[in-house]
């Protein structure tokens, strides 16, 4: 034991020193004990210190090991996340590789092939947001909006302006104006700025919901840029739709003051003059159309408005010579238009020309021209309506029914009323018993009953009406009564309820 040896050496040295100082020998054992105890205490203190040092070292080692363990866990987590990221990137690369052919077809506007390809991709990857979006884009390109909308919703990313704009466009095309407005407002919020084109799109949608909101929105767009023609045209159109013709004329005049070469403002002002319906405006109307035509002979609205004005003049006069002259001016105008406007507008002018030929009682020609309109553009109700009316006036009853049935799928409220009435007229004139068409009578009355809008008769109605009355003059009483009552219903001489009570359920023998 080293501490004991040290103690003995110290004690011997102390004893020698003590004898030199005259310390009694019997005191030496006590000194020895005290010295040993002191050395033992010193030794114990050293041992405690060493134990503390060892314990501190152990704790430091434990802390270091814990830190190493935590770091190892962190590294393992990072490796796991890195692996997941690598797998996600690989999946993304695989997805992009699968979508690349469809994207290329979209860029080339090969929508039909893109739809086929992307439908297969969606079937293989039903959770792919991008695949749904691209399929929706391709379907929109084909104007298959109802099919496109679910895929656009599935692929919508809320903070992407382009996607919000396309969803709004699709909703608008389907007549979902409230939904379209919601997405356009989100689009403006995402952009963080107010753009003119967004305001014009929003105003167009709002004009179907709340004209007052639309006026405010389009006015804001025009304030941002008074030279924004799109905003001005939309605002002028909205003013005309709400009957504010004076404001529409002022807006068009202001547009011409800013840009005298703005041909569409000439046409818009002429439209406002026409809708205001004052005879003193007709000279200014024709002058605006003349200026517009001198700069752009291809504008369909020039010929539509001029023809409508001549037709109005024909209907307004009781002088047979003036009426004939005005109707021939109308035909010349439409013929001029067919020579100049793009082919996509020919159907509209042909349908209008057919109605003028009806007024001139050139029924066979009216049928041929209306058939040309349908051949040009078969998915617009006005063309089918023109053909059905012409066939009715030409007393081709079965063909009139068929034309009306073909046009029904494209018809809105007014078109449905006209086509349903033509069907009833044709059946009655062909000798079909009224009891067989009572359901059609109910449908016609329901359409007129539930809608508060006034039904507008066409310019050629009086001619067709005379033909119908002559055609059933010798028909059975019930058929003649059905024709006369249906005419009275359209001319608002009897109510839908009265018509429905008479023709909705009662058998023909009672009429």
pLDDT at position 296 is: 92
The whole-number average pLDDT for the span 202-216 is 88
pLDDT beyond 60 at 509: no
For residues 355 and 389, is the Cβ–Cβ distance under 8 A? yes
pLDDT at position 96 is: 59
Residues 6+ positions from 29 with CB-CB distance below 8 Å: none
The whole-number average pLDDT for the span 300-309 is 96
For residues 95 and 128, is the Cβ–Cβ distance under 8 A? yes
The whole-number average pLDDT for the span 140-146 is 89
pLDDT at position 269 is: 96
Q: Provide, rounded to the nearest whole percent, the portion of the chain with pLDDT above 90.
A: 40
pLDDT at position 158 is: 74
Rounded to an integer, what distance in angstroms lies between the CA atom of residue 495 and that of residue 501? 10
pLDDT band at 125 (very low <50, low <70, confident <90, very high): confident
pLDDT at position 39 is: 66
pLDDT beyond 50 at 397: yes
Average pLDDT in the chain: 84
Rounded to an integer, what distance in angstroms lies between the CA atom of residue 356 and that of residue 393? 12
pLDDT beyond 80 at 116: yes
For residues 275 and 245, is the Cβ–Cβ distance under 8 A? yes
Give the alpha-carbon dihedral of 486, 407, 361, 463, to 10 degrees: 20
pLDDT at position 511 is: 42
More confident residue, 8 or 272: 272
Of 219, 214, 210, 157, nearest in space to 187 by CA: 157
Residue with tokens 């356009």, as numbered in its chain = 184
User: What DSSP state is assigned to residue 148?
Assistant: H
pLDDT at position 66 is: 76
pLDDT beyond 50 at 507: no
pLDDT band at 312 (very low <50, low <70, confident <90, very high): very high
Cα dist from 488 to 88, 229, 435, 449, 496, whole Å:
71, 45, 19, 14, 10
Q: How far is CA 213 from the centre of its chain?
A: 18
350-384 tens-digit pLDDT: 999 999 999 999 999 999 999 999 999 998 899 99
Cα dist from 242 to 222, 275, 349, 414, whole Å:
19, 11, 26, 19
Alpha helices in 341-476 (DSSP H): 346-359, 363-376, 381-393, 397-407, 413-429, 438-450, 461-471
The whole-number average pLDDT for the span 438-458 is 77
What SS3 string covers 152-214? HHHCCCCCCHHHHHHHHHHHHHCCCHHHHHHHHHHHHHHHCCCCHHHHHHHHHHHCCCCHHHH
For residues 118 and 102, is the Cβ–Cβ distance under 8 A? yes
Q: Residues 123-132, buried b or exposed e (16+ Cβ, 10 A)?
A: eebeebebbb
Count of CB atoms situated within 10 Å of the CB of 379: 11
Whether CATH 1.25.40 fits 377-511: yes
Rounded to an integer, what distance in angstroms lies between the CA atom of residue 377 and that of residue 366? 17
164-191 tens-digit pLDDT: 999 999 998 888 999 999 999 999 898 8
Burial of 176 (0-12, 13-18, 19+ CB in 10 A): middle
Rounded to an integer, what distance in angstroms lies between the CA atom of residue 289 and that of residue 301? 9
The whole-number average pLDDT for the span 457-464 is 81
242-295 tens-digit pLDDT: 889 999 999 999 999 999 988 899 999 999 999 999 999 999 999 999 999 999
pLDDT at position 510 is: 44
pLDDT at position 27 is: 57
Instruction: List the domain boundaries for the chain.
Output: 377-511
The whole-number average pLDDT for the span 488-506 is 85
48-99 tens-digit pLDDT: 777 777 777 767 777 777 787 777 777 777 777 766 665 655 555 555 566 6
Across 6-15, 108-117, 487-496, the highest mean pLDDT is recorded for 487-496
Query: What is the sign, positive or negative, of the torsion defined by CA atoms of 196, 202, 208, 213?
Result: negative
């Amino acid at each position: 034991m080293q501490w004991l040896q040290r103690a003995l050496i110290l004690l011997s040295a102390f004893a020698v020193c003590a004898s030199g100082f005259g310390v009694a020998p019997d005191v030496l054992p006590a000194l020895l004990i005290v010295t040993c105890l002191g050395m033992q205490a010193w030794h114990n203190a050293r041992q405690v210190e060493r134990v503390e040092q060892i314990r501190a070292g152990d704790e430091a080692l434990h802390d270091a090991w814990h830190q190493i363990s935590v770091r190892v866990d962190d590294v393992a987590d990072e490796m796991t996340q890195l692996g997941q990221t690598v797998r996600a990137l690989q999946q993304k690369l695989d997805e992009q590789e699968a979508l690349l052919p469809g994207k290329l077809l979209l860029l080339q506007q090969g929508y039909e092939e893109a739809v086929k390809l992307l439908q297969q991709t969606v079937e293989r990857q039903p959770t792919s947001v991008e695949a749904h979006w691209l399929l929706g884009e391709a379907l929109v390109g084909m104007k298959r909006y109802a099919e496109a909308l679910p895929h656009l919703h599935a692929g919508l990313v809320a903070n992407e302006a382009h996607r919000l704009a396309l969803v709004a466009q699709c909703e608008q095309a389907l007549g979902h104006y409230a939904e379209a407005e919601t997405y356009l407002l989100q689009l403006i919020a995402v952009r963080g700025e107010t753009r003119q084109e967004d305001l014009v799109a929003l105003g167009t949608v709002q004009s179907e919901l709340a004209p007052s909101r639309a006026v405010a929105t389009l006015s804001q767009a025009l304030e941002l840029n008074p030279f924004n023609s799109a905003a001005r045209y939309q605002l002028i159109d909205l003013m005309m739709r709400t009957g504010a013709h004076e404001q529409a004329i002022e807006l068009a005049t202001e547009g011409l003051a800013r840009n005298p070469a703005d041909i569409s403002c000439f046409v818009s002002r002429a439209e406002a003059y026409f809708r205001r319906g004052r005879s003193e405006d007709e000279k200014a109307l024709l002058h605006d159309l003349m200026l517009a035509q001198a700069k752009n002979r291809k504008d369909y609205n020039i010929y539509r408005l001029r023809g409508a004005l001549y037709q109005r003049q024909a209907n307004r006069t009781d002088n047979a010579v003036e009426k004939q002259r005005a109707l021939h001016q109308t035909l010349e105008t439409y013929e001029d238009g067919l020579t100049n406007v793009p082919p996509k507008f020919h159907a509209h002018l042909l349908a209008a020309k057919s109605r003028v030929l009806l007024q001139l009682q050139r029924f066979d020609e009216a049928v041929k021209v209306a058939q040309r309109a349908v051949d040009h553009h078969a998915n617009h109700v006005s063309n089918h309506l023109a053909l059905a009316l012409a066939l009715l006036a030409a007393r081709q009853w079965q063909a009139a029914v068929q034309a009306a049935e073909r046009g029904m799928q494209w018809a809105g409220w007014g078109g449905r009323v006209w086509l349903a009435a033509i069907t009833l007229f044709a059946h009655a004139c062909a000798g079909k018993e009224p009891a067989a068409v009572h359901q059609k009578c109910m449908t016609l009355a329901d359409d007129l009953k539930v809608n508060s809008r006034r039904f507008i008769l066409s310019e050629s109605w009086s001619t067709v009406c005379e033909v119908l009355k002559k055609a059933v003059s010798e028909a059975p009483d019930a058929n003649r009564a059905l024709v006369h009552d249906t005419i009275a219903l359209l001319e608002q001489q009897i109510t839908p309820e009265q018509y429905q009570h008479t023709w909705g359920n009662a058998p023909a023998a009672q009429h």
